[in-house]
Structure 1
Amino acid sequence: MIDRTHIGAETEEVPILVEGGQLRLFCQATGETNPVFLDADAARAAGHERIPTPPTYPQTLLNLSRFAKDLVFDVLQADLARMLHGEQVFELRHPILVGDTLRLRQRVADIYDKKGGALEFIVLETTARNQDDVVCAMLKSVAVIRN
């Protein structure tokens, strides 16, 4: 069983630059063709100061970030061989634009079990703040551990 005392554990803030090249690769990989996400002129014509990112792009930034301690593996010591991805939620609060520097912080929001402990759930929440300290996105992911 995963130790519930780790609820509330969090990482340090990690800065990550929102790069145009990474965004283009993301759009290519996901089949995104909206010119607003690919071209500065189209973005300005749509009323954006700079090129914005698609709604699910913050997950890519999370995947690219390097936390000094990984909450799931280092802190909770969860076994990857028994882990499944259960849920992903994106809450966008403010546009994320190419050139922004986001600061990501992740925390263990909850740990619970079902089926008499046969399944354990780890709820991770990540906050993404921009260089102006504005919360741009909240990400929630749920990992399921099969016991």
Structure 2
Amino acid sequence: MAPASDAVGLSTPPSTIDVERGRLRLFAKAIGETDPLYTDLDAAHTAGHRDLPVPPTFLFCLEMDRPDPFAFLSEAGIDLERVLHGEQSFTYHALCYAGDSLTFESSITDDYERKGGALRCLVRQTRVTRADEPIADLSNVIVVQQSKARA
């Protein structure tokens, strides 16, 4: 595994993904969302939206649709069996909707250790755009269980 800080700067090529109504409806059902705004096109139009709006955490799911979404971890020499999801956050700049084509660009911006080296934390920042319009900035921490802590 690459030592801490070697992963900083690793990036993924831009990937464009289309937002589909059917997936939005399934996602809403899966998370228990009952507001018809996210599942019924008429309700969305009545509320002033041009189509079904994307629920807040759905962008994380779309990010996983890119080809080989964990390639950057392999590039950093990280065994996927040791990876845990640490945290995620979203900063939105604009709403996005079914029918949009969104582009995701990610890079590792921080790489640090916790628990005496037992855990390695990689911070990945992802910029989401529609054409050149900023839609959201995603941040997630990927926790890697190290084989053993350093003294």
TM over 0.5: yes
Letter in 2 for 1:9: L
Instruction: Render the CA deviation track for 1:99-133: whole Å, top value 9, x for unaligned.
Output: 000011111111011233222111111111013x1
Letter in 1 for 2:36: P
Q: Which has the higher helix share?
A: 1
Letter in 1 for 2:122: I
Structure 1: stretches of 5+ with no match in the other structure:
none
Q: What is the Cα-based RMSD across aligned positions, in Å?
A: 1.7
Q: Runs (4+) of structure 1 moved beyond 6 Å?
A: none
SS of match in other structure, 2:64: helix
Give the drift of 1:86. 1.0
Task: Give, in whole Å, the separation in 2 of the partners of 1:41 and 1:144.
Answer: 42
Verify: 1:51 aligned to 2:52, yes or no. yes
How many residue pairs end up in the alignment? 145
Corresponding residue of 1:85: 85
Instruction: Render the CA deviation track for 1:39-76: whole Å, top value 9, x for unaligned.
Output: 22111111112211111110110122225871112x11
Verify: 1:39 aligned to 2:46, yes or no. no
Corresponding residue of 2:149: none
SS of match in other structure, 2:125: strand
Percentage of identical aligned residues: 37
| Structure 2 counterparts to residues 1-147 of structure 1, below 5 A | 2-3=2-3, 4-67=5-68, 70-73=71-74, 75-131=75-131, 133-147=132-146
Structure 2: stretches of 5+ with no match in the other structure:
147-151
Give the drift of 1:29. 1.0
Letter in 2 for 1:60: C
SS of match in other structure, 2:94: coil
Task: Give, in whole Å, the separation in 2 of the partners of 1:6 and 1:64.
Answer: 22
Task: Give, in whole Å, the separation in 1 of the partners of 2:69 and 2:94.
Answer: 27
